Amino acid sequence: MTAGKHHIRRRTVFAAALLLVAALLVWGCAPAPKVPVPSPGPAPEAKLDKSLPPTALEKAGDDRLARGRHMLAVDAYLAALSQNPGPLAVSRMRLNLALAYEGAGQRVMALEQLRSMPAKGGDPEVLTKGLLMQAELERKLGQLNQSSATLRRLAKMPPRPLSEAEQRQVLDSLAATQGALGQYGQATGTLLELAGMEGLVTPSLQLRLARTAGRASSGELEAQLGKPRPPKLNAILLLALARAQFREGRLDEALSTLGQVDGLVPDDAIGDQAKVLRQEIKQAKLVDPVAVGVLLPLSGPWAQTGKEVLAAVELGLGLYESAAGKAPVLYIADSRGRVMESAAEVDKLVDQHKVMAIIGPLGAGPSLAAARQAQARQVPLISLARIDGVAQSGAYVFQDSLTPQRQVDGLLTEAMSLRNKKRFAVLAPDNSYGRGFDGLLEKGVIARGGETVRRVYYDPKATDFTQYVQTLVKLPPGKYRPGAPDSPQPVIDFEALFMPDGPQAVAMAASQLRYFDVTGVLLMGTNLWHEARLVELASRDVQGAIMPGCFDPGSRDPIVQKFVAEYQKALQRTPSLLEAQGYDAAQVLRHLIRGNAAPRTRVAMRDALAAVKDLPGVCGPITMSPQRLFDQPVIIFTVDRAGFRPVQPQDRIPPEPAPSADAATPPADQAQPGAPPLVQGQPSGQ
């Protein structure tokens, strides 16, 4: 290396060192980073000297209250009160104590202070403010009767004359409290007094008076009439009186009262309301407010079923009970299970018997015909049909049934969400019932991320399911001994099998499934499975199967036990789902007819049905959906040795982990994990 190069290197090192020193000097001279200083909190309160005179302690309390130190203010006021000052000071400090307690969120303690104000000798101004605050706190705490009493006392015997603003405040609060207590007649009188103070009827006061008076009884309203008042106030009272008479069934008197309204305000909103009410009264004259119609097949092939449902409807209406109130009257019509007769009987129930609502009929065709006619005649109808779409006939048609869509939704929730089944097969009759349920299942399975691997349709009249089961599990046709070493093995590439059919067909198919070693799959059916006939025919072959329902006759719910006991006493048999739904439909109408605000027109009955919510029923709490369907919980049932029972958590065996790649292949006839086994049964026709 040359001397020149050494020199350049020394100069480079020297320059770098100078830069480093300069950087260190700059860093050392830079101001230190600012550390945020926490803002000081409120200055600590000086210790209260409780030996000070009451005036000084009261002043300390006032100062603390003004600064929002509520509980410290309480300490000061209580210390002052402990020295027994005079009633003037006591009234002031009790009011301020109440303000401090309320500021601290202790309303009960605040109310206690207000109720402890001196009865005599207190400051009238303070006592007046205290009573106003007391009434408001009582209202907020739900002590409505006490609040009403406080306000009445303040209105009649105030500690000092009330200003006009205070009088309006008292009357306004008193009317609201009386209304909340259901004292609509008294609230109406209070609002009329308030209107007299105002000197005019403001739109808001007019609306409030109309709503309140509209809920008072005719006797309470008649007591308010005959006094000199502005015509508009009298018109409001007369309209409310007509409504009360209408509710009480005094239709002719209501029409007469409306005539007086017309003479006072012929052209404003009150007059328009009077016209609407007059039309409602005319409609009410066309109906019997306690008349209910039931339309069922009481002759023909479904007569027995119709009679069993009729018995449940009679029990639901309480026809054999001696309960107080308006008792429903039942008019019975026979649909004969036919379409034309069903529509004609709706007309008879409307025209001849003036029914408020109709229950029934049964069957797809008769139900759709009756629903269309009920909508045309504008009479509420509660259908018991087991098909989707009946309620779509119109706003007057309701449906109480376990529809196919609800059944499939309940089954798939159990099978897919709770049992983790993903692969399904369908064995269904080749008719509208079987294909309809298959279509709903297909849509539901796909929507939940599963698949239907196979579907087999059979002749609805079939009595031998051999070929259908062989096709289902890809077995060749012919006769051979299943399970033998040289026999073909079934291909069970599905986890659940859906069979939408009745007990007879299911029993025959289930025995063939077991005969051909189709084991380890979850059997699923519709609510047709939930019949004693299935247990009689195939109890061992359908062990662990699941099916939807919404009525458990073995429930410990008192309302269910009462219905089952009454039904068994009347018919010597346990009620089924269909009878339970008829009972619930009747229960709803009975509840509405016997209620305090019982509908007087079919329009009102329609609206009342649409508003039903959480009404007790034997199929669970009843709430009407926006689609006018009885929205009750679906129960998934299973079969064990004792018969049907609701599924329990222990019935849902969790799926075992998938075997590793080098795990041994299980035998062909080994049950799949997570599915209840089928029990050996006898094959059909063997």
Helix, strand, coil distribution of the chain in percent, nearest 5: 50, 10, 40
User: What is the pLDDT, as a whole number, of residue 21?
Assistant: 47
Q: Is residue 349 very low, low, confident or very high in pLDDT (cuts 50, 70, 90)?
A: very high
355 pLDDT above the threshold of 90: yes
Answer whether 419's CB lies under 8 Å from 408's CB.
no
Last residue of a domain, one of 285, 319, 354: 285
Q: What is the mean pLDDT of residues 2-30?
A: 50
29 pLDDT above the threshold of 60: no
Residue, of 638 and 386, whose pLDDT is higher = 638
Whole-angstrom Cα distance, residue 518 to residue 489? 10
Q: What's at 680, amino acid-wise?
A: Q
- β-pair type (546-549, 635-640): antiparallel
Instruction: Please indicate, yes or no, if residue 240 is contained in any of the structural domains.
Output: yes
Indicate whether 433 and 504 sit together in one domain. Answer: yes
27 pLDDT above the threshold of 50: no
528 pLDDT above the threshold of 60: yes
pLDDT in tens, 604-615: 999 999 999 999
Indicate whether 311 and 377 sit together in one domain. Answer: yes
Last residue of a domain, one of 265, 285, 305: 285
Instruction: Please indicate, yes or no, if residue 184 is contained in any of the structural domains.
Output: no
Q: Is 201 helix (H, G, I), strand (E, B) or coil?
A: coil
The residues that bridge with 295 in the sheet, in sequence order, are 333
Does this model's pTM top 0.75? Answer: no
Instruction: Please indicate, yes or no, if residue 73 is contained in any of the structural domains.
Output: no
299 pLDDT above the threshold of 80: yes
Least confident interval from 41-55, 348-362, 459-473, 608-622? 41-55
Could you tell me the CATH number of the domain that includes residue 469?
Answer: 3.40.50.2300
DSSP secondary-structure letter at 629?
A: B
pLDDT in tens, 67-89: 999 999 999 999 999 999 999 99
Answer whether 521's CB lies under 8 Å from 611's CB.
no
Q: Is residue 15 very low, low, confident or very high in pLDDT (cuts 50, 70, 90)?
A: low
Indicate whether 505 and 614 sit together in one domain. Answer: no
Whole-angstrom Cα distance, residue 308 to residue 361? 13
Q: What is the mean pLDDT of residues 321-337?
A: 84
Indicate whether 296 and 383 sit together in one domain. Answer: yes
Q: Is 196 helix (H, G, I), strand (E, B) or coil?
A: helix
Indicate whether 269 and 378 sit together in one domain. Answer: no
Q: Is residue 679 very low, low, confident or very high in pLDDT (cuts 50, 70, 90)?
A: very low
Q: What's at 573, amino acid-wise?
A: R
Indicate whether 410 and 478 sit together in one domain. Answer: yes
Instruction: Please indicate, yes or no, if residue 111 is contained in any of the structural domains.
Output: no
Whole-angstrom Cα distance, residue 172 to residue 384? 50
pLDDT in tens, 238-254: 999 998 888 888 888 98
CA 650 centroid distance within chain: 29
Mean pLDDT of the chain: 86
Whole-angstrom Cα distance, residue 358 to residue 295? 7
User: What is the pLDDT, as a whole number, of residue 36?
Assistant: 55
104 pLDDT above the threshold of 90: yes
Instruction: Please indicate, yes or no, if residue 133 is contained in any of the structural domains.
Output: no
pLDDT in tens, 111-124: 999 999 998 888 99
Indicate whether 565 and 530 sit together in one domain. Answer: no
Indicate whether 415 and 538 sit together in one domain. Answer: yes
User: What is the pLDDT, as a whole number, of residue 135?
Assistant: 94
Closest CA to 310 of 341, 337, 327, 331: 331
Whether residue 361 is preceded by a cis peptide bond, meaning omega within 30 degrees of 0, is yes
Instruction: Please indicate, yes or no, if residue 70 is contained in any of the structural domains.
Output: no
Closest CA to 335 of 356, 354, 353, 310: 310
Indicate whether 451 and 476 sit together in one domain. Answer: yes
Q: Is residue 198 very low, low, confident or very high in pLDDT (cuts 50, 70, 90)?
A: low
**What angle separates helix 87-103 from helix 124-140, to the nearest 10 degrees?**
30
232 pLDDT above the threshold of 90: no
Number of domains in the chain: 3
Indicate whether 247 and 324 sit together in one domain. Answer: no
Whole-angstrom Cα distance, residue 458 to residue 438? 13
Instruction: Please indicate, yes or no, if residue 85 is contained in any of the structural domains.
Output: no
Domain that holds residue 334: 291-400+556-631
Last residue of a domain, one of 246, 268, 285: 285
pLDDT in tens, 380-389: 999 999 888 8
Q: Is residue 269 very low, low, confident or very high in pLDDT (cuts 50, 70, 90)?
A: confident
Instruction: Please indicate, yes or no, if residue 663 is contained in any of the structural domains.
Output: no
Indicate whether 538 and 595 sit together in one domain. Answer: no
Least confident interval from 157-171, 208-222, 249-263, 289-303? 249-263
Whole-angstrom Cα distance, residue 111 to residue 130? 10
Indicate whether 391 and 431 sit together in one domain. Answer: no
